[in-house]
Chain A
Amino acid sequence: MTLSLRELSVSFRDPSGCALPALGPISFDVKEQEFVCVVGPTGCGKSTLIRVLAGLLPASSGAALCEGALIDRPMNQFAIMFQDANLMPWRTVLDNIALPLEIAGVSRSSRYETVRALLPQLHLEGFESAYPAALSGGMEQRVALGRVLVQQPRVVLLDEPFGALDALTRENLGRLLLRLRQRYTQTIVMVTHDINEAVLLADRVIVMSRGPGRLVADVSVDLPRPRTHDMIYHQAFLTLTKRIRASIDDLSA
């Protein structure tokens, strides 16, 4: 599915009713099955952007569109994942991943079957009946990723999904995400503040200015796929990360 932002801006209101601009105006398009990463300084409105795309927050002006239709409520075939794994502590791994199916009214046996088939790809076999309290941060995010995949979404929105993890776990999860994407081709918008991660994963990197965030750079990543972690030492990779880095540094200059 294609997404597009048309002069989208969002402002919040402080208690006295004054407008606090949080995002934009910003415009860009995401093509069918494109993987777009969004980077930008803290507080520039990245989470706000994701929430508008998810239909959880209305635009103050301009619009977010999916296939040309206004996104004004949570859309079908969209799935969202947050920085915090956001699992339900009272549900087991199996039931957390199965939640979207349960909400959709899928019968217990068929939702368990679907989730069980997914577990090996997430490296979660044997943890079906564990509660989130017993999981590591990386495992929690894999469960959250499972909860996204089980929805068979055509658009995936990720808000710093691996932000709270250590570097190695984060690389592993990045690889897992790419593998899963090969299998279930989707349009992906992912917020991250790790430039290497953005370049390694994405087809395009969008750089946002300080809040209220506007578009300052739109960099195409023409590295070959499949991507491997070795690529971070390639000249092409370094050129790209430098360019992105420079456009961010310009902001603070």
Chain B
Amino acid sequence: MGAGSTLRRISPFLTIACLLLLWQWISARGIISHILVPPPTDVYQAFTDSLADGALLKHTLVTLEEMFFGLLLGVGIGLAIGYAIAKAPILENILSPVIVAFQSTPIVAYAPLLVIWFGSGIASKIVTTAVIVFFPTLVNTIVGLRSVSPNLRDLMRSLKAGRWQIFRHLEAPSALPVILAGLKTSTTLAVIGAVVGEFVSQGSGLGYLVTSARNLYDTPLVVVAVFTMTAISLSLYGIVAYVEWRFLVWQRRSSA
């Protein structure tokens, strides 16, 4: 490994360190009021406090739960409808008005409607998350399945492979890279879905933590909640990236 590649590896961390220093410097100099931009030390204090009284963990778990079931539902339905559309293109014509309408309306606008329909409990947040992750999953499933090589289809037919064998040995592995790419987008969107749901109907979760802390002008806690969302988003992205790396061995470029 050369010096250039070491630099490339550590430079993201350098960026973060520089930003933290700049942030500390700005608040220490009192350039901006602490209520607007609390210094990193205050944020750290809020972090350890909310960790100690269990509030952070509790709200994080609520958000994670909503995201988990939302992803399960949205990705599941996206895969199923995507498969159906790829197999029977007529379904695309039938379903596209609904799908396009959902997709082109901002989720924040109809999230209150979802609360009216599904109640102010966890169900409405799961649905909000599911709706937002549904679309990228759907699109990537269709694109992935349509990318299957027609010659390989002919090969499978000439081997007298059944429907399930074609799915298992050809369609699923061909579509997997595209679907996993879609899943990476979906995981970040899932955080947005859950938090939007929590903004709209109060109760618990990181979105709720943000609004309640803001009402108390507890800016450090707001920042802690926001950073937790970032951390969730990045971790999920990392997990999918790892799954990708682990299972798509054949796509890894061998370096000389």
Contacts and interface: CB of A to CB of B under 8 A. Distances in A.
B155 interface: yes
B169 interface: yes
B157 A103 contact: no
Main secondary structure of the interface of A (DSSP, over half): loop
Contact of A103 (B151, B160, B251): B160
B248 interface: yes
Nearest to A85: B151
Given A56-B157, A74-B158, A90-B248, A99 B169 contact: yes
Nearest to A105: B165
A90 B149 CA distance: 13
B52 to A, nearest CB: 48
B173 interface: yes
A56 B250 CA distance: 29
B154 interface: yes
A141 B203 CA distance: 63
Contacts of B160: 74, 76, 103
A100 B250 contact: no
B216 interface: no
Nearest to B253: A133
B30 to A, nearest CB: 58
A86 interface: yes
A89 B156 CA distance: 15
B159 interface: yes
A86 B174 CA distance: 13
A151 B156 CA distance: 13
Interface string B113-124: 000000000000
A14 B249 CA distance: 41
B157 A88 contact: no
A84 interface: yes
| Among B149, B159, B251, residue most surrounded by chain A Cβ atoms (within 10 Å) | B159
Interface of B: 149, 151-152, 154-161, 165, 169-170, 173, 248-251, 254
Which 7 A-B residue pairs are closest in the complex by CB-CB distance? Answer: A131-B250, A74-B158, A90-B173, A90-B250, A103-B159, A86-B151, A103-B161
25 contacts: A51-B154, A54-B158, A55-B158, A56-B157, A74-B157, A74-B158, A74-B159, A78-B158, A80-B154, A80-B155, A80-B158, A82-B151, A82-B154, A82-B155, A86-B149, A86-B152, A86-B155, A88-B152, A88-B169, A88-B170, A89-B251, A103-B161, A131-B249, A131-B250, A133-B250
